Structure 1
Amino acid sequence: MTFLKEPPHKHGTVGRSAIVLVNLGTPDAPTRSAVRRYLKEFLSDPRVVEIPRIVWWFILNLIILPFRSGQSAKKYASIWTRDGSPLKVHTAAQAQLLRGALGERGHHNFTVAMAMRYGSPSLPEVLSKLKADGVERIAVLPAYPQYSGTTTGSIYDAVFDHYGTVRNIPELRFVRNYHDHEAYIRALRLSVQAHWEAHGRPDKLVLSFHGVPKRTLMLGDPYHCECLKTARLLAAALKLTPDQYIVTFQSRFGKAEWLQPYTAPTVAQLARDGVKRVDVLCPGFTSDCLETLEEIAMEVRHDFEQAGGREFHYIPCLNESPAWIAAMAEIAEQHMIGWPTQMPAAQHEEVKADAEIGRAAALKLGAAD
């Protein structure tokens, strides 16, 4: 076997540490060709679609890609921003803010990088650059709070596949899940409470998670249970009674049964049952994306209003909220224990002072505007 060429070694250099924040991915542009490339990579992953490869090749290449690429491109175009895909923009911002938050917590000689499981920047590309930059310790932080073989498991596959071609492998640590992490639940609670303080409370809070085929639950995937635990902990933090919220699953695909209840028909039925206002939160997504901005905020809103509902509120994902950045820093820090990243106390105080000056200047500028 031929391994990738190692970067030149310099004696006396201090190895660095890194956090790699990994999200699902996004097309490079809201065009049919870009979406087709992205969907082909995504849907070719055997973790995502567990159908015999030969059968699935024909379905994917002769049916799905020719017809779905154009439809999906129109949906991406409806949520695309001047800076690009919302998912990529938010994930990049989160990585940058996480770097600053860890610095304020006293860490140095480390970096935070963003990678995508599908699309760019790809995991192999990011991991190779980190090696070239002298990184010897890597903690992989998936953007998925709840573990599923279709998401987090697939990230593991990509990391292991890459390092199967590398001679000198860095120390690796993986964040498996944080569905019940106190800081994550706190960030969700603060997000919901802030929305309610500004807009009032709904008749029903809908907690919509991304769906997966039901057979994955039957085969031992813990995703469903972790979604329910997140919902239960958030409901308790918000002091909600069981009749004040409901858990649903969105984005089902194909004819097979997926986790239920399904989001769109459930929300429409709530309207038919006389519920006048629903608020929908997607706790399984840490960055707004096609599934939240188009599927929920547009399509499900339309279904609710068509069924007689009066008021539909979509509560945005955590995105760059300070509570979520702090939660990521806490989660990352717990997985960096023992690594030589803690800066001397005097240097830490200087970093904190500089951060305070920067925040004060930003607030002053905002006030002037």
Structure 2
Amino acid sequence: MSAVAPIEHPEPAPAALPRRVGVLLVNLGTPDTADARGVRVYLKEFLSDSRVIEDQGLLWKLILNGIILRVRPGRKARDYQKIWNTEKNESPLKTITRSQAEKLAAAIADHKHVVVDWAMRYGNPSMRSRIEALAAQGCDRLLVVPLYPQYSAATSATVCDEAFRALADMRAQPTLRVSPPYYDDPEYIEALAVSIKAHLAALPFEPELIVASFHGMPQKYVDKGDPYQAQCVATTDALRARLGLDASKLILTFQSRFGFDEWLQPYTDKTIEKLAKDGVKRIAVVTPGFSADCLETLEEIAQENAEIFEHNGGELFSAIPCLNDSDPGMDVIRQLVLRELQGWL
């Protein structure tokens, strides 16, 4: 009787890597060091972006390399040194954005296949490096979250540009989603209102009015179709309604103008100067266009504009912090991310 051949059991195929979803929080950027060299590297990348300075012709290159990058880095480095996180040797924007990513990861930790990371559009960690890192962890889907409540081509669009450039060099591209602006999102407006009320309640004085200062942009960019100004107005209108304030008690202005073009008006510094000269003694300033405190809020508003106000007769000035990684601020980011991940979770 012939022997029966034993049944062979093939080795099980190795388990495939779990499919993961990457979430990348992106903010504008920061120098790596608070010295002229670090600021020069940062400014060169930032001001060479045609979304930021649209005319990148020969004249601009001469101005940028012959004047701006020789003069401005030293002055800006001194400004960064006033606000620098010396303990971690980094700017507050980097510290806060990292914390936002860490807190978001903890808040959605029950979604085991979601990986949260963060990047800067200019400077480090670069978007390209973090997109590649997420792909290496098995993320075949990617949600990019520009941390700008209001859309503009010079902020949100250039985040998309950089994401697309990174994907253009990848053979196995992750599927990409980009979160929309959230300038009138009820959760965002509510978080701003809660933050403002809490700050005002802790002040030893009552402001006569609040200035809502947004980052400016050249007027011609809006004339060409950028929706940024309209979205800043919508944010301010919604915030006025939520706080029960009229236009005389919550004023919209634009800060941080640069160069010789006409920028969006009214200008923050000129408005604050005029308020002081007109006899206003007590004001607070909120910056609803920034998701995290940075040079423009901590130095330009809280220091430079405070000095302008006091120099021209004002007495009491308070800068209201950005939402940062506060509980209300993180609620906004968490709900935005979970909404945009629908169908992927």
- The 8 Å contact of residues 276 and 309 in structure 2, kept in 1 or not, is answered as yes
Task: Kindly provide the CA deviation profile for residues 271-301 of structure 1, in whole angstroms up to 9, marking residues without a partner as x.
Answer: 1111111100000011110000010000000
- The 8 Å contact of residues 101 and 326 in structure 1, kept in 2 or not, is answered as no
SS at match of 2:325: coil
Give distance in 2, aligned partners of 1:32 and 1:169: 38
Q: Quote the sequence identity (%).
A: 45
Give distance in 2, aligned partners of 1:56 and 1:176: 32
The answer for the alignment partner of 1:363 in structure 2 is: none
Q: Give structure 1 stretches of 5+ with no counterpart.
A: 1-9, 342-369
SS at match of 1:124: helix
Give distance in 2, aligned partners of 1:236 and 1:184: 14
RMSD over equivalenced CA pairs, Å: 1.0
Q: Give structure 2 stretches of 5+ with no counterpart.
A: 1-13
Give distance in 2, aligned partners of 1:48 and 1:209: 16
Amino acid at match of 1:111: V
Please tell me whether residue 151 in structure 1 is matched to residue 155 in structure 2.
yes
The answer for the alignment partner of 2:93 in structure 1 is: 87
Please tell me whether residue 101 in structure 1 is matched to residue 118 in structure 2.
no
CA-CA distance at 1:157 after TM superposition: 0.5
SS at match of 1:141: strand
TM-score calculated relative to the size of structure 1 = 0.88
Residues 48-127 of structure 1 aligned to structure 2 (within 5 Å): 48-81=52-85, 82-83=87-88, 84-103=90-109, 106-127=110-131
The answer for the alignment partner of 1:193 in structure 2 is: 197
Give distance in 2, aligned partners of 1:244 and 1:166: 51
Give distance in 2, aligned partners of 1:38 and 1:241: 40
Please tell me whether residue 282 in structure 1 is matched to residue 293 in structure 2.
no
Choose from 206, 209, 213 the match for 1:204. 209
Amino acid at match of 2:125: P
Task: Kindly provide the CA deviation profile for residues 324-363 of structure 1, in whole angstroms up to 9, marking residues without a partner as x.
Answer: 1011110000100011x3xxxxxxxxxxxxxxxxxxxxxx
Give distance in 1, aligned partners of 2:157 and 2:326: 27
Choose from 233, 237, 259 the match for 1:254. 259
Give distance in 1, aligned partners of 2:294 and 2:58: 31
Choose from 37, 42, 46 the match for 2:46. 42
Give distance in 1, aligned partners of 2:233 and 2:28: 22
Cα–Cα, structure 1 residues 190 and 170, in superposed 2: closer, same or farther, change >3 Å? Answer: same
Give distance in 2, aligned partners of 1:201 and 1:164: 53
Choose from 270, 289, 297 the match for 1:292. 297
SS at match of 2:259: coil
Give distance in 1, aligned partners of 2:139 and 2:169: 17
The answer for the alignment partner of 1:4 in structure 2 is: none
CA-CA distance at 1:320 after TM superposition: 1.3
The answer for the alignment partner of 2:312 in structure 1 is: 307
Give distance in 2, aligned partners of 1:31 and 1:11: 50
CA-CA distance at 1:133 after TM superposition: 0.9
Structure 1 ranges of 4+ moved more than 4 A: none
TM-score calculated relative to the size of structure 2 = 0.94
The answer for the alignment partner of 1:243 in structure 2 is: 248
Choose from 273, 288, 292 the match for 2:278. 273
12-21 vs 210-219, which deviates more? 12-21
The answer for the alignment partner of 2:145 in structure 1 is: 141
For the pair shown, which has the larger CA radius of gyration, 1 or 2? 2
Give distance in 2, aligned partners of 1:251 and 1:134: 41
Considering fraction of residues, name the structure with more helix.
1
Choose from 33, 37, 44 the match for 1:33. 37
Amino acid at match of 2:106: G
Amino acid at match of 2:99: A
Give distance in 2, aligned partners of 1:92 and 1:220: 33
- The 8 Å contact of residues 178 and 184 in structure 1, kept in 2 or not, is answered as yes
Give distance in 2, aligned partners of 1:203 and 1:114: 39
CA-CA distance at 1:53 after TM superposition: 2.6
Give distance in 1, aligned partners of 2:139 and 2:96: 25
Give distance in 2, aligned partners of 1:126 and 1:323: 26
SS at match of 1:243: coil
How many residue pairs match? The answer is 329
CA-CA distance at 1:11 after TM superposition: 5.7
Give distance in 2, aligned partners of 1:53 and 1:100: 46
